[in-house]
Amino acid sequence: MSDFVRNTWYPLAWTREIGPALNKRRVLGDDLVVYRKSDGSVAALEDTCPHRLAPLSLGKLKGDLLECGYHGLTFDCSGHCVRVPGQKITVARPVVRSYPVAERMGLCWIWMGEPGLADPALIFDLPQYHDRENWSVAEGDALQIGTHYLELADNLCDPAHVSFVHLSTLGNAASEDVPVQYDKLPGKLVTWRWIVDAPAIPLFQKFGNFSGHVDRWHYYHYYAPSIAVIDFGSVPTGTGGPEGRRDNGIQIYACHFITPVDENTCIDHWLHVKNFQADEATNLALSEQFRIAFNEDKLILEAIHANAKRIADKDGKDARRNRMKLAIDASPATMRRMVRQMIEAERIQGAAERMPA
Ligand SMILES: [Fe+2]
């Protein structure tokens, strides 16, 4: 069974990456050709000509129309064939699948499921992203990781790894033995902990101007199936942070918008939103710290994925099944159950729709 939810919005690309030229993308294992139309909106079509299966991304844009590079069949953005060179042919229905696309938070989002359910109001939004008086935003990268997207989602429901993987940036030893808590809410999972009266992490020593110990929080907000927003920050110890006062310190939302490319690859579109204004140089320096940290995740996640595949190839079984289970795994396990339930609900809905009336 596929591990993909289809009826949801996925990040497709940064808005800045899509112009009036043909872009090739892959989402949920489907190859797509993507381009920006003359009215500014984005078209996404299956990247296959229905004639000889040539990738349409090897073709040409003729205005808003897409001409196949093999025999010149031409399609509009809804997938209708509007020209067959040398032959008069009219097909009433679309012959190339097209996908709804919308833009928000600097990203193009694509709906890979039933088009009639694609409501742009359902796209994730972070209010602080739009409040530029009190918050500032820096876009990061599209980090390709050679693993299944749920392995990355595991990592993003797991603050415990930070104490060991990110010691030069986001973590320090003070949090090693602090238990992780989690709360399951409708469609959402929050994994969190407070590290009270401890030295600031390296990132906040660089950017936070703390002179003494701090109270530090992690709230990992996971929105099924593929979005995680990490709210983390620190305030001087004893100034009321755990009771709710966060404005006298540094607070950052590190947003991870994950594109499941296929079973073995995902892309983490990351950006950060912070409660202070910064010049270009500071933003670049801060992004570089995140880049270091997220590449540390990439390194370990790709090694885990390769290990799991090697064990599966050797023993013919899922290497995840017999591993040790720890208290810190409760949140990632809940995340996996949430995604399985979404996939099962789609399967049942699809089966019901295929039943004869
Ligand atoms: Fe990490």
The predicted model scores a pTM of: 0.95
User: Rounded to whole angstroms, how far apart are CA atoms 329 and 11?
Assistant: 27
What is residue 355's predicted lDDT score, i.e. its pLDDT? 76
Q: What is the pLDDT of residue 252?
A: 96
Q: What phi, psi does 172 have (nearest 5°)?
A: -155, 175
Distance 161 CA to ligand 1 centre (A): 6
Expressed in angstroms and rounded, the spacing between residue 277 Cα and the centre of ligand 1 is: 25
Alpha-carbon 258 to chain mean position: 2
CA of 357 to the centre of ligand 1 (A): 50
The pLDDT assigned to 156 comes to 98
pLDDT at 356 over 90: no
- To 5 degrees, how large is the angle CA 159–CA 110–CA 336? 35
Average pLDDT rounded to a whole number, residues 330-348: 96
Radius of gyration of the chain (CA): 23
Contact 72, 86 (CB under 8 A): no
DSSP 110: E
Q: How far is the CA of 293 from the centre of ligand 1 (A)?
A: 6
Nearest to 272 by CA among 289, 285, 260, 254: 254
* φ/ψ (deg, to 5) at 241: -55, -55
- Residue 12 C-alpha to ligand 1 middle, in angstroms? 22
CA 261 from centroid of its chain's CA atoms? 10
Show the tokens assigned to 116. 């009639």
What local confidence, expressed as pLDDT, does residue 240 receive? 93
Higher pLDDT, 2 or 12: 12
Look up tokens 């199936």; give the residue: 225
Q: Is 116 helix (H, G, I), strand (E, B) or coil?
A: helix
For ligand 1, the distance from its centroid to the CA atom of residue 44, given in whole angstroms, is: 32
Q: From CA 217, how far away is CA 254, in angstroms rounded?
A: 13
Closest CA to 38 of 18, 63, 67: 63
pLDDT (average), residues 156-168: 94
CA of 218 to the centre of ligand 1 (A): 12
Q: 152 CA to middle of ligand 1, Å?
A: 9
pLDDT digits (tens, 9 = 90+) for 204-241: 998 888 989 999 999 999 999 999 999 999 999 999 99
CA of 170 to the centre of ligand 1 (A): 8
Sequential DSSP letters for 146-213? SS-HHHHHHHTT-GGGHHHH-TTTT--GGGTTPPPEEEEETTEEEEEEEEEEEPPPHHHHHHS---S-
CA of 319 relative to ligand 1 center, distance in Å: 22
List the beta bridge partners of residue 14: 107
Confidence bin at 250 (pLDDT 50/70/90)? very high
Instruction: Report pLDDT for 127.
Output: 97
Q: Are strands 181-185 and 214-223 parallel, antiparallel or unpaired?
A: unpaired
Tell me if residue 20 falls in helix, strand or coil: coil
Cβ count within 10 A of residue 13: 24
Tokens of 33: 């050709």
- Residue-wise pLDDT tens digits, 315-337: 877 777 778 999 999 999 999 99
- Distance, CA 166 to ligand 1 centroid (Å)? 7
Q: Mean pLDDT score of the chain, rounded to an integer? A: 95
For residue 295, give the amino acid letter.
N
What is the 250 CA–ligand 1 centroid distance (Å)?
A: 19
- Specify the DSSP class assigned to residue 17: G
37 has a pLDDT exceeding 70:
yes
End-to-end CA distance of the chain: give it in Å, rounded: 27
Beta bridge partners of 60: 67
Residue 269 has φ and ψ, to the nearest 5°, of: -85, 110
Task: Report how far Cα 193 is from the mean position of its chain's Cα atoms.
Answer: 23
Cα–ligand 1 centroid distance for 100 (angstroms): 32
Would you say 20 and 44 are in contact if contact means Cβ atoms under 8 Å apart?
A: no
CA 132 from centre of chain: 23
- What percent of the chain clears pLDDT 70, i.e. is strictly above it? 99
Cα 262 to ligand 1 centre (Å): 21
Spacing, Cα 165 to ligand 1 middle (Å) = 7
Cα–Cα distance for residue pair 303/299, rounded to 1 Å: 6
